[in-house]
Structure 1
Amino acid sequence: MESEIVDRLRCPVCAGSLAPAVAGAARTLRCPRGHSFDVARHGYVNLLAGRSPHTGDSAAMVAARADFLAAGHYDVISTALAEAAVDALSRARRPATADAGTGEAGAGEAGAYPLVVEAGAGTGRHLAAVLAALPDAVGLALDVSKPALRRAARAHPRAGAALADTWQRLPLADASTALLLNVFAPRNGAEFRRVLRPDGALLVVTPAEEHLTELVGALDLLRVDPAKAERVAGSLGGHFTPERDTVRRARLTLTRPEVETLVGMGPSAWHRDPARLAARIAGLAEPVTATVAVHLAVWRPA
């Protein structure tokens, strides 16, 4: 994990700074009080304070999701995030610690490179797309799923990954983050505000009303909550102010196994009888068409 990322991590036990236990070998991170955290051979570090009540996606779910995303079905989301990230970062004040000639950080100074954090990052595909559009940024994927983090740690050369629960205190320093991404994931307004720089931005992706509407009708899936926007605002209100909200759409052409994966990525997987869902999917005529429709909202610290 790059030093520019480690410098902005914090101990989940005491909130102290973290550094490699052995100089030049970041296999174990340790704080001044002696709390230590091993970096797994897959590249992520476990910074969970205690046990999380949930473990996230299983290895099979992550593999299916990775294949689905690799097919480009949600590239409309990655592209929209990358565009919004470039725009948001261009408006932010650039840290004074960067050398104007080389773009490199001053010795021993954290924060010269903008940090992009994705909370609930999954495999890290969206984070990787944003980093590809921001050549001077580093990234950190946060998730509670170890199988997902094994992939996220390798999603991009400038990305790191850490096991963390969005509902707990995030293992990051105050005002350490330039951009925070949140795609179909829980939102912790207070913590998001704490870790974002005053000139930072929070990019939130949520389903629009017509998202996957064809599958909702054919498979009796859960519909998008009509009060979704109000709930998002409620979770962020007092900490952030909305800057703008755009809707992005795309048409998908899917096989039945891809439909099964897509359904498994959403809340209906937990609220519908699996056998009945499988039977309905088996009855679909291929190819299956569906609409992707999402809100991408930009929020600024209040």
Structure 2
Amino acid sequence: MLSDAVPSLRCPVCQGTFALSPEAPFSLICAAGHGFDAAKQGYFNLLTGKGTVFEADTAEMVAARNDFLAAGHYAPLAEAIAELAAPVLSAPGSLVLDSGTGTGHYLRTVLDRTPAAAIGIDISKFALRRAARLNPGAINLVWDIWRPLPLADRSADAVIVVFAPRNPPEFARVLRPGGRLIIVTPRTGHLAEIAERTGMLGIEPGKDERLAESMQGLLVPGESRQLDLDLVLNGRDIADVAFMGPAGHHLERSSLIASTAAEPSVHATAKFSLTVLTSPESGS
């Protein structure tokens, strides 16, 4: 239920606690009277002031991601994320934050396997419209990950970050002792069979090393997995997977679909790293 996650939220204006209005359309109202109404699609926009300079995913990028993920290509990845999150989300009252939730696809799998309350944040309203439909019991928020998160200290049992920006100090702040941060990143060679001809952006060298360095002194390194998925992609799949990522900001979807329409099915390998970091226990 939406109300299960509300106690963990904090007002972005005054950092006060929120209450949820009892009837739809819902509003979040803090003790000082700052209010945020739900959009008709079910998400809340907590951004104030100048908003954000971060480039949000467009409606077309989100549609491509929705179509690709709905086809089940990355289902084993969603299952792996849920498996890693489950140990800290087994108790009633636990909370998961999906930072960069997108369409809510990975969070949906986590919630199907745990009793956790959930908060999903993303900068794209187009993505959150879909996330709110897929995860109506979660609080879905427009938010800029580079700002302090609108959550209380030590309020989340798990934070998942799938192909999204990271704010290590804030993740460390909101995790409870023993809580897990689960980060998914692509590895070198990810979809190499189609990347060059579709204009997909390459994997930056040293990415894993920079991730480890950014977490030093904040969270304790834990389990690390590599997951390879052998995929068979048709022309539309190729267009969707190319357009749904960062390259979508620089490509035209219609041109990409036209250029891949006649493609025969292609075998490609998706390569992922799943990294788990743990919040230190109290007194450790």
* Aligned equivalent of 2:103: 123
* Aligned equivalent of 2:69: 69
Query: 1:23-54 CA deviation, whole Å, 9 max, x = no partner?
Result: 55672211122211111121111112320113
How many residue pairs match? The answer is 278
Amino acid at match of 1:231: R
Q: 2:93 aligns with which of 75, 100, 113?
A: 113
The 1:23–1:125 alpha-carbon spacing in structure 2 relative to 1, beyond 3 Å, is closer
- Superposed CA RMSD: 2.3
Alignment of 1:235-254 (within 5 A): 235-254=214-233
The 10-residue stretch of structure 1 (289-298 or 27-36) with the greater mean CA deviation from structure 2: 27-36
The 1:279–1:47 alpha-carbon spacing in structure 2 relative to 1, beyond 3 Å, is closer
Paired with 1:121 and 1:146, the residues of 2 have a C-alpha distance of: 11
Paired with 1:13 and 1:234, the residues of 2 have a C-alpha distance of: 32
Query: 1:113-161 CA deviation, whole Å, 9 max, x = no partner?
Result: 1111100000001001001111x21111100111111111122353221
Alignment of 1:14-163 (within 5 A): 14-20=14-20, 22-23=21-22, 27-50=26-49, 51-89=51-89, 113-134=93-114, 136-163=115-142
* Aligned equivalent of 1:208: 187
**Alignment of 1:298 onto 2:248:** no
Amino acid at match of 2:5: I
Alignment of 1:164-175 (within 5 A): 164-175=143-154
Amino acid at match of 1:40: A
Paired with 1:151 and 1:279, the residues of 2 have a C-alpha distance of: 22
Q: Is the 8 A contact 1:187 1:235 kept in 2?
A: no
1:231: how far off? 1.7
Paired with 2:149 and 2:190, the residues of 1 have a C-alpha distance of: 30
Alignment gaps of 5+ in structure 2 = none
Paired with 2:196 and 2:130, the residues of 1 have a C-alpha distance of: 33
Q: Is the 8 A contact 2:5 2:95 kept in 1?
A: yes
- Identity within the alignment, %: 42
The 1:187–1:124 alpha-carbon spacing in structure 2 relative to 1, beyond 3 Å, is same
Paired with 1:115 and 1:87, the residues of 2 have a C-alpha distance of: 12
Alignment gaps of 5+ in structure 1 = 95-111
Query: 1:160-203 CA deviation, whole Å, 9 max, x = no partner?
Result: 21111111111111111011000000000011111111111000
List, as ranges, runs of 4+ consecutive aligned residues in structure 1 with deviation greater than 6 Å. none
TM-score normalised by length of structure 1: 0.85
Paired with 1:27 and 1:89, the residues of 2 have a C-alpha distance of: 26
Paired with 1:11 and 1:190, the residues of 2 have a C-alpha distance of: 19
Give the 3-state SS of the residue equivalent to 2:26 in structure 1: strand
